[in-house]
Amino acid sequence: MSAPAGSTRLERTRDDDAETRMASISALFEPTSVAVIGASDDPTRIGGRPIRYLREAGFGGAIYPVNPNRSLVQGLPAHATLASITSAVDLAVVALPAEQVLDALAACAAKGVRVVIVFSAGFAEADEAGAQRQRAMAQIARDSSMRILGPNCLGAFNAHNGFFGTFTQALDQAGMSAGPVAIASQSGACGGHLSYLCRQRGIGIGYWVTTGNEADIELSECLLWLARAPTVRVIVAYAEAIRDGARFVEALKTARANGKAVVMLKVGRSQVGARAAASHTGALTGEDAVYDAVMRQYGVHRAASIEEMLDIAYGCARGVLPRDRRLGIVTVSGGVGVQMADAAEQFGLETPPMPESGQARIKAMIPFAGTANPIDLTAQLANDRSLMGRCLDIVLSEGDYASIILFMTSSPAVPASADWLMNTLAEVGQRHPDRLFVLSFAAPVEVVRRFEAAGYLVYEDTHRAVRAVGAMARMAQGFARERQPRPAAALLAQSLAASAAPVARPALEALDEHGAKRLLAAAGIPVLREIVAADAQAVEQAAEDLGTPVALKVLSPDIAHKTEVGGVALGLATPQAAACAAREMLARVREQLPQARLNGVLVSPMCGGGVETICGVYPDPVFGPMVMFGLGGIHVEVLRDVAFRLAPFDTDEAFSMIEEIRGAALLRGARGSPPADIEVLARTLSRLSVFAHVNRGVIAEIDINPFLVLARGHGAFALDALVLPTAA
């Protein structure tokens, strides 16, 4: 399920399949009739809660409690079996002990139920018997057209139509008001907790789903459906391991194309965390750096905590994103203003100073004000409250900031101050309707709600306010980038369309360095002009042709480490010296490795200067071929200063990849050396990604080390290359 499809035929099947899958997720969120198997009369029990929630939420469809021991369940007529329900059943909720679940599923399939939600625990997360039951469950889903959510999940809800197929206790206290936020969580408890916290913060949830053990329906399908849902603005996702990398990426692309923010908590960053995640879901947790790269590449905000995730979801839910990264900071405390400026830099926002004229106008009103940015209105405000509105007006009209964060200490905790602030903001806001207004103050929750109802974002902590605005600006930038025609993206599409069929597998067997380089050269990766020479005489001629000095490398598909057998000679100054070295080299290698196939000697011009980099490809089990980039030597091996991207990607993405490593300054021309040819490097990385993508079925790994990047205008070259086929 998780392996990337290798052929066009498979992909077509997949596309058809995708629409069927989306229809089944629609059936999950929008059922017209619901049966609860294992229904309880007690509205606090697992089998009782869904019925209670459905009725409290005014679900419009039919509700069928299934319970052989009662005639009424919570006042509704109960059915002894599912089969005894005469009408069609769209969706069934199963709240039974694990041992009874398979029978219930068989009955559901026989009845023609479209989706079943299985709450029960005791499957793959428990023991081998449970894992067996889970495999049988998956088989039922495959054999029927019926989909299964769970087992070991808390179900799903759709606050828009009152469908509550869940027993989460987080809904106990009050109903959920529908809103633009959707939550998809692999962990049930975490999903429930998120819904409680959202309600506490006044964040309205439209759709909510927990996928549990994912015997059938998995997170990525849900994300894709939510990315298409018109009322969803923000998708909050909690994941431990993605099972279907391709669909996950499709979901993220769809969300970005539709301008929906995705905020995600992917756990398992640490060694210990990954250990716990693996035991919790029984799924293979991919390398964290790969997840990180994929999320970055497709514009997901990866949060480190639930609080961060909700801070950003809350900000995006309002639907106003800043048009750029320019932030104006207005404060009544100089100190807190400085803190916000620090945070702005940390979170990728710009805080350009106000123009001189605007600064002068504020100084004229408040002589001791800080006027650059942060704009510190000082305690003067306490003496003349009209100053705030007038200053804000100047900041907004002259400063040209996309966002404003206004820090007010705890003054709105005083009702009169809150009224005054509300009025001032309303006036100023009318004149600048295109700006994002964010307030930061500490006050009782009623005061916060009042400002939120008027359309402002309120964060008590300034650091969290700035972090959220930074994330929102980054997302807005990603959405804008999607909407504009980009030459790099067009070029990528073009080169993918024009890509030849994958390399034939036989051509990949017994590939020596020269063969690998020719393969890469055909894919547009720059290599030096090199000559294969069969013997010492041919080497002499080749050195003559190429010009000295030259390097020699023995060519053999059987020799991985050439240096160790004396198969490399560098800096040979004359054709004669080259011939002599070749003779000696071939004799030595034949003596040491008499079985090795020898394809001759590769003669290359010596190439000095420049920056050594490493460009590689390796297959991630979840996502497919990942391209890796780093600087050569200690940078990759010791400092682990590398960047990853999922193939294929365009040159814009390649530039961002290059910029991402800490050592990028070396390529920009540090220590008096000229800037390197980053353009050629970026083009090469993009081409490598296309090549890796097209050949993902046959090529497993590629290692170009070193890839030497010369000064700008002088190009870059693969000096050594290794291409490994996939296991046949």
Q: Which is nearer to a copy of itself, 439 or 539 (CB)?
A: 439
Footprint of a copy of itself on residues 577-636 (CB under 8 A)? 634
| Neighbour count for residue 111 (Cβ, 10 Å) | 16
Footprint of a copy of itself on residues 236-255 (CB under 8 A)? 238, 240
Count the site residues for a copy of itself by CB under 8 A.
86
Footprint of a copy of itself on residues 346-375 (CB under 8 A)? 346, 351, 367-368, 370, 372-374
For the bound state, the minimum distance from the C-beta of residue 499 to a copy of itself, rounded and expressed in Å, comes to 37
Residues β-bridged to residue 171: none
Tokens of 301: 């905000």
Q: Give the residue from 258, 260, 147 showing the smallest Cα distance to 209.
A: 147
Q: Which is nearer to a copy of itself, 241 or 603 (CB)?
A: 241
- Could you tell me which stretch among 14-22, 166-174, 577-585, 716-724 binds a copy of itself (CB under 8 A)? 166-174
Q: What are phi and psi of 553, to 5 degrees?
A: -135, 135
For the bound state, the minimum distance from the C-beta of residue 341 to a copy of itself, rounded and expressed in Å, comes to 4
Q: Which is nearer to a copy of itself, 20 or 100 (CB)?
A: 100
For the bound state, the minimum distance from the C-beta of residue 343 to a copy of itself, rounded and expressed in Å, comes to 7
C-alpha 184 chain-centroid distance: 14
Q: Give the residue from 446, 437, 441, 567 showing the smallest Cα distance to 513.
A: 567
Q: Which is nearer to a copy of itself, 289 or 338 (CB)?
A: 338
| Neighbour count for residue 161 (Cβ, 10 Å) | 17
For the bound state, the minimum distance from the C-beta of residue 235 to a copy of itself, rounded and expressed in Å, comes to 17
- Could you tell me which stretch among 142-150, 169-177, 253-261, 718-726 binds a copy of itself (CB under 8 A)? 169-177
For the bound state, the minimum distance from the C-beta of residue 13 to a copy of itself, rounded and expressed in Å, comes to 33
- Show the binding pattern over residues 507-536: x = contacts a copy of itself (CB under 8 A), - = does not: ------------------------------
- Residue 696 in contact with residue 625, Cβ under 8 Å? yes
- Residue 681 in contact with residue 658, Cβ under 8 Å? yes
> Binding a copy of itself by CB under 8 A: which of 60, 112, 335, 547?
335
Mapped onto helix, strand or coil, the DSSP state of residue 190 is helix
Footprint of a copy of itself on residues 664-683 (CB under 8 A)? 665-666, 670-671
Q: Give the residue from 540, 327, 510 showing the smallest Cα distance to 436.
A: 327
For the bound state, the minimum distance from the C-beta of residue 227 to a copy of itself, rounded and expressed in Å, comes to 22
- Rounded CA-CA distance 67/274 in Å is 41
Place of tokens 């800096």: 571
Mapped onto helix, strand or coil, the DSSP state of residue 115 is strand
- Rounded CA-CA distance 311/309 in Å is 6
If one asks whether residue 187 binds a copy of itself (CB under 8 A), the answer comes out as yes
Which residues neighbour 434 within 8 Å (Cβ) at sequence distance 6 or greater? 323
- Could you tell me which stretch among 61-69, 168-176, 389-397, 544-552 binds a copy of itself (CB under 8 A)? 168-176
Tokens of 184: 């998809």
For the bound state, the minimum distance from the C-beta of residue 155 to a copy of itself, rounded and expressed in Å, comes to 13
DSSP letter (8 states) at residue 564 = G
C-alpha 51 chain-centroid distance: 36
- Could you tell me which stretch among 155-163, 330-338, 384-392, 486-494 binds a copy of itself (CB under 8 A)? 330-338
Task: Enumerate the H helices of 36-127 as residue ranges.
Answer: 49-56, 98-111
- Rounded CA-CA distance 103/116 in Å is 13
SS (H, E, C) 343-406: HHHHCCCECCCCCHHHHHHHHHHCCCCECCCCEECCHHHHCCCHHHHHHHHHHHHHHCCCEEEE
Classify strands 642-646 and 624-631 as parallel, antiparallel or unpaired.
antiparallel
For the bound state, the minimum distance from the C-beta of residue 25 to a copy of itself, rounded and expressed in Å, comes to 21
- Show the binding pattern over residues 410-449: x = contacts a copy of itself (CB under 8 A), - = does not: xx-xx---------------------------x-------
H/E segment holding residue 260: none
Footprint of a copy of itself on residues 283-322 (CB under 8 A)? 304-308
> Binding a copy of itself by CB under 8 A: which of 90, 221, 376, 540?
376
If one asks whether residue 379 binds a copy of itself (CB under 8 A), the answer comes out as yes
For the bound state, the minimum distance from the C-beta of residue 634 to a copy of itself, rounded and expressed in Å, comes to 6
- Rounded CA-CA distance 184/190 in Å is 10
Q: What are phi and psi of 420, to 5 degrees?
A: -60, -45
If one asks whether residue 131 binds a copy of itself (CB under 8 A), the answer comes out as no
Q: Which is nearer to a copy of itself, 350 or 679 (CB)?
A: 350
Residue type present at position 327: L
For the bound state, the minimum distance from the C-beta of residue 191 to a copy of itself, rounded and expressed in Å, comes to 9
Task: Enumerate the H helices of 229-287 as residue ranges.
Answer: 245-257, 271-281
If one asks whether residue 722 binds a copy of itself (CB under 8 A), the answer comes out as no
Residue type present at position 20: T
Q: Which is nearer to a copy of itself, 179 or 370 (CB)?
A: 370
Q: Which is nearer to a copy of itself, 119 or 649 (CB)?
A: 119
Footprint of a copy of itself on residues 10-69 (CB under 8 A)? none
Classify strands 33-37 and 91-94 as parallel, antiparallel or unpaired.
parallel
SS3 content of the chain, % helix, strand, coil (to 5): 45, 20, 35
- Rounded CA-CA distance 115/174 in Å is 27
Q: Which is nearer to a copy of itself, 379 or 607 (CB)?
A: 379
For the bound state, the minimum distance from the C-beta of residue 651 to a copy of itself, rounded and expressed in Å, comes to 24
> Binding a copy of itself by CB under 8 A: which of 206, 268, 315, 567?
268
Compute CA distances 536 → 532, 585, 600, 603, whole Å: 11, 9, 9, 11
Footprint of a copy of itself on residues 461-500 (CB under 8 A)? 461-464
Footprint of a copy of itself on residues 193-232 (CB under 8 A)? 193, 196-197, 200
Which residues of 214-350 form beta strands (DSSP E)? 234-239, 261-266, 301-302, 327-331
- Could you tell me which stretch among 119-127, 131-139, 228-236, 544-552 binds a copy of itself (CB under 8 A)? 119-127
For the bound state, the minimum distance from the C-beta of residue 408 to a copy of itself, rounded and expressed in Å, comes to 10
> Binding a copy of itself by CB under 8 A: which of 61, 429, 663, 675?
663
If one asks whether residue 139 binds a copy of itself (CB under 8 A), the answer comes out as no
Q: Which is nearer to a copy of itself, 74 or 187 (CB)?
A: 187
If one asks whether residue 660 binds a copy of itself (CB under 8 A), the answer comes out as no
Q: Which is nearer to a copy of itself, 376 or 513 (CB)?
A: 376
If one asks whether residue 273 binds a copy of itself (CB under 8 A), the answer comes out as yes
Compute CA distances 309 → 166, 219, 235, 312, whole Å: 23, 17, 10, 5
Classify strands 699-709 and 611-620 as parallel, antiparallel or unpaired.
antiparallel
Q: Which is nearer to a copy of itself, 233 or 326 (CB)?
A: 326
> Binding a copy of itself by CB under 8 A: which of 99, 103, 172, 591?
172
Q: Which is nearer to a copy of itself, 126 or 698 (CB)?
A: 126
> Binding a copy of itself by CB under 8 A: which of 6, 43, 61, 122?
122
Q: Which is nearer to a copy of itself, 218 or 653 (CB)?
A: 218
Q: Which is nearer to a copy of itself, 182 or 341 (CB)?
A: 341
- Rounded CA-CA distance 395/129 in Å is 66
Q: Which is nearer to a copy of itself, 288 or 701 (CB)?
A: 288
- Rounded CA-CA distance 54/628 in Å is 50
If one asks whether residue 173 binds a copy of itself (CB under 8 A), the answer comes out as yes
- Residue 243 in contact with residue 4, Cβ under 8 Å? no
If one asks whether residue 185 binds a copy of itself (CB under 8 A), the answer comes out as yes
For the bound state, the minimum distance from the C-beta of residue 177 to a copy of itself, rounded and expressed in Å, comes to 17
| Neighbour count for residue 451 (Cβ, 10 Å) | 20
